[in-house]
Amino acid sequence: MSYLSVSTWSLHRLLGPLRWTIWDEEDGVHRTALEPQPEELSLLELPAAAAAKGFQALEVCHFHFPSREPDDLMKLRAAFRNAGIAFDTLLLDYGDLTSPDPRRVEADERYISSWIDAAALAGAKKVRVIAGEAMPTDEGALARSAASLDRLSAYAHECGVRIVTENFKPLTSTGPSCLKLLGRTEKPLAMITDFGNFKGAAKYEELAMILPRSLSVHAKAEFDEHGIPDEQELRLCLEAVRHSGYDGSYVIIYDGPGDMWAGIERVRRIVEPYAAG
């Protein structure tokens, strides 16, 4: 059954400091870079706030977690339970499984596994893992990514979590490369389809390619300088979803200017009839 969700990226200016992960190539370690921002809404408060606005689920970006201490993750799990809203996906925005440097891939797999552990404690159903930074025509990179995703999927299964990937970053920047990657993994792998991540004349054809293999869609519109969505273009994307037979979450994405809740509602007005069937 289709339902409405929202990503914490749509509220990123309200949720306090962003904690970005970077790879220190010289030392071979991951480091955290903090981007200060005022906090108007804590992550623990967000499930209740989203539920009050009628959303059935949330997707949470990894850089919005103020802590991965077990007690804090269990508090977040309780916040979702008490609000009656699902923690659908932890969106991990870091990692390059296509790196030719085995030291980097090994370190990234360990790091991703630590976020799988966090997702399990916090009650997330899925973890979105980026397939890689290499070009979509790089056959060796596709093979490396598929092998890493299989290992991570096996680990996630043991933790009661599912791995998904997305048409995000270079390796999966085209419909054909997404399908090629899905065909190379031995473990079942599903997609998140983001409307904003395919470009050019073939965009809607490429969306149609991967929607049947998707568990959620990121309903990302194109916005003008006032945060008004291009309704005609968004509806073309939504019609591609309707014709695909997709039946899952519609995740509202707003990254325009101004009040973020108001921007979310402008997108929601267009998307909600499709989610309602």
In the chain, how many domains are there? 1
Q: What is the per-residue pLDDT across 98-116, written as a single tens digit (0 to 9) for each?
A: 999 999 999 999 999 999 9
Structural domain boundaries enclosing 247: 3-275
Q: What is the per-residue pLDDT across 178-198, written as a single tens digit (0 to 9) for each?
A: 999 999 999 999 999 999 999
How high is the mean pLDDT in each 10-residue block of the chain (277 residues)?
A: 96 96 91 94 98 98 98 98 98 96 95 98 98 97 98 98 98 98 97 96 96 98 97 98 96 96 98 93
Q: What is the CATH number of the domain that holds 245?
A: 3.20.20.150
* pLDDT score at 1: 86
Can you spell out the DSSP letters for 196-262?
Answer: GG--STTHHHHHHHHGGGEEEEEEEPPB-TTS-B-HHHHHHHHHHHHHHT--SEEEEE--SSS-HHH
* pLDDT score at 123: 98
Task: Output the pTM of the full model.
Answer: 0.97
* pLDDT score at 101: 93
* pLDDT score at 277: 78
